[in-house]
């Protein structure tokens, strides 16, 4: 194997030498190379991103059951100042108790007011081919710190072209990808940062027991992937 490589290299050198003209070369190429690497940011969720509502003792047969909000910590650390947004992607499309939009998130039943306002929601999976419920999530505005200073939650429904303030910090939307970012207080444009920390709240509801197979345990199985988008 090594002998073959040496032979090929020698042949190439000989060929190049015999092909060189007798007059001097009056030009030379300069190749400029390199790799542009974007700023690296690392997101982290406490408890490895698991939000556990524990054992749910009882359900209503005629009404949906609203579960209390559970919180987890979210942090993003960047090795240089960067403007970043979070874009959720639904990992359980087609399982919402409600009306889903093109993003896989959608409207809850009218009786359900997640975070008190009827926030858009994602599905909680299925059990025995029956829909379990739904959940939504938000960044709690009062908890948001960017480089140690208070900041404002802002959102974009057009991939970062325009931004609006969202004091509720709602992160899910039904008809377009929703970008969530943060601005300095009083502004509505993303701010570059090194560290961001906040409390992420998750609220859920469970279907009526009459719509579920209650002969066996049912596991809530919601999943959203939080993708970082560099702006």
CA distance 108 to 122: 9
- pTM > 0.75: yes or no: yes
Residue 20, pLDDT score: 41
Position of tokens 């960044």? 139
Q: How do residues 62-106 score in pLDDT, each as one tens digit? A: 999 999 999 999 999 999 999 999 999 999 999 999 999 999 999
CA distance 194 to 81: 5
In this model, does residue 1 exceed pLDDT 60? Answer: no
| Domain with residues 35-230, CATH architecture | Sandwich (2.60)
CA distance 173 to 155: 10
Domain coordinates in residue numbering, the chain: 35-230
CA dihedral 139, 220, 225, 142 (to 10 degrees): 10
CA dihedral 49, 96, 109, 166 (to 10 degrees): 40
Q: How do residues 120-168 score in pLDDT, each as one tens digit? A: 999 999 999 999 999 999 999 999 999 999 999 999 999 999 999 999 9
| Tokens linked to 114 | 């997640």
Q: What is the mean pLDDT of residues 198-209?
A: 96
Output 102 or 23, whichever has higher pLDDT.
102
Taking the CB of residue 140, how many other CB atoms lie within 10 A of it?
16
Q: Enumerate the β-bridge partners of residue 126.
A: 131
């Amino acid at each position: 194997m090594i002998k073959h490589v040496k032979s090929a290299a020698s042949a190439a050198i000989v060929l190049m030498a015999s092909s060189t003209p007798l007059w001097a070369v009056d030009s030379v190429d300069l190749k400029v190379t390199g790799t542009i690497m974007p700023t690296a940011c690392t997101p982290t969720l406490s408890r490895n991103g698991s939000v556990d509502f524990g054992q749910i003792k009882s359900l209503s047969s005629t009404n949906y059951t609203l579960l209390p909000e559970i919180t987890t910590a979210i942090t993003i650390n960047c090795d240089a100042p960067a403007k970043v947004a979070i874009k959720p992607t639904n990992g359980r499309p087609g399982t919402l108790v409600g009306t889903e939009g093109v993003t896989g998130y959608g409207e809850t039943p009218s009786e359900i007011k997640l975070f008190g306002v009827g926030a858009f929601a994602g599905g909680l999976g299925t059990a025995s081919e029956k829909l379990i419920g739904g959940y939504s999530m938000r960044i709690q505005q009062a908890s948001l710190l960017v480089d140690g200073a208070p900041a404002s939650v802002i959102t974009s429904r057009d991939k970062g072209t325009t931004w609006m303030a969202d004091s509720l910090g709602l992160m899910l939307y039904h008809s377009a990808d929703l970008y969530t970012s943060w601005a300095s207080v009083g502004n509505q444009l993303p701010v570059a940062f090194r560290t961001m920390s906040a409390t992420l709240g998750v609220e859920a509801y469970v279907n009526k027991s009459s719509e579920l197979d209650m002969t066996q345990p049912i596991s809530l199985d919601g999943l959203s992937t939080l993708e970082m988008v560099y702006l």
